[in-house]
Chains A and B, each alone.
Chain A
């Protein structure tokens, strides 16, 4: 059946909507081959249809129609595969911050890595251009109620220097009272936990 392999790609994405499965180079190139094959046989048949038009006989048009809609279907699946992967990747850029964990990076194709670098650069450039000193859009995702918040450390993170020069040692299960603006990123990355009484 036509288009089976292309749907396999989509199913792969459907199974894990919030993470990225490894980029399936083999299957993508198989779908490409299927499309090339379909287009070539359509061209051949269209040519012979032109030549035999005057002769009575079976028309090849239905065959061509079938193959053509299979090509269009394959294109849709391929585009959807890549587009939805980019969507996940974009969300990851916001959630993980600038640097992705290496095991996620392994799952990307080299074009996706390239796209991510470009996206990060544009984002950084935009954030610098807003206002006089630039603004970090990744902070204050929720309206702040106080300048300082209480946090608990979830992992042995090591040393952490605040803007005023004080160096803290973030040990597992230690509690701290920190400026919200400086620890928000660490909370998002799962290093600290925000304690709400």
Chain B
């Protein structure tokens, strides 16, 4: 998907919806009746205060705010001290995709669960550090799939977009005329059709 120009987070953004589906560990601070089925490890009908569960971010966001928070969220482990140290040491060597597919996007949500602003600082530090490497990878002509595999979804999006625009600039400088091309979707559709014919 393109980098959407509308307000952030875009209500309709697929990436944002998927990022907010990630699970956050949290503890219930009050009894919640009738919703025992949220806890797969118990058979009771009610959720007791003190139960620790992993809930999706969208639910945690709604329940942890307000005058009487229902749950108290914790930082997911990939944003905790230990992992932050790894990022601080050398962010560009890290396989961020293994940490979390939506590391930066999710991070911008969970940073509020951390009372000190350490998470936010680490995220900025990691992004600026890795960005330089990202630009290098985009510039290089040889394609190394392991570089791509180690990026989180935001970096992948940047990678694809800049690769594309770089190619466009290149053809324009080279030929200065741009050929009319078959529309991308038509091309895709044909390829798929050919696949089914065989």
Contacts and interface: CB of A to CB of B under 8 A. Distances in A.
B135 interface: no
A11 to B, nearest CB: 7
Interface residues of B, number: 39
A62 B179 contact: no
A69 B17 contact: no
Interface in A39-89: 41, 45, 58, 60-63, 65-70, 72-73, 76-77, 79-80, 83-84
Interface stretch (B108-116, B118-126, B180-188): B180-188
Contacts of A41: 34
A147 interface: no
Given A3-B58, A63-B32, A190-B190, A95 B184 contact: yes
A65 B14 contact: no
Given A66-B63, A66-B70, A19 B182 contact: no
19 contacts: A2-B59, A14-B18, A19-B188, A19-B192, A60-B34, A61-B68, A62-B30, A62-B68, A62-B70, A66-B35, A73-B58, A77-B17, A80-B11, A80-B17, A95-B183, A96-B183, A143-B178, A189-B183, A193-B182
Contact of B33 (A2, A60, A92, A180): A60
Contacts of B34: 41, 45, 60, 63
Contacts of B7: none
Interface of A: 1-3, 7, 10-11, 13-14, 17-19, 41, 45, 58, 60-63, 65-70, 72-73, 76-77, 79-80, 83-84, 91-92, 94-96, 101, 103-104, 141-143, 145, 149, 180, 184, 187-190, 193-196
A65 B180 contact: no
Which of A1, A11, A72, A91 has its CB near the most chain B CB atoms (within 10 A)? A1
Say what secondary structure dominates the interface of chain A. helix
A145 B14 contact: no
Contacts of A91: 185
Contacts of B58: 3, 69, 73
A187 B180 CA distance: 7
A3 B180 contact: no
Contact of B180 (A45, A69, A96, A194): A194
A148 B57 CA distance: 57
A88 to B, nearest CB: 8
Nearest to A19: B188
Interface in B147-198: 175, 177-190, 192-193
A62 B183 contact: no
Given A65-B62, A80-B11, A194 B56 contact: no
Contact of B186 (A14, A62, A141, A190): A190
Contacts of B62: 65, 68-69, 72
A137 to B, nearest CB: 14
Contact of B182 (A72, A145, A189): A189
Contact of A69 (B11, B63, B192): B63
B14 A14 contact: yes
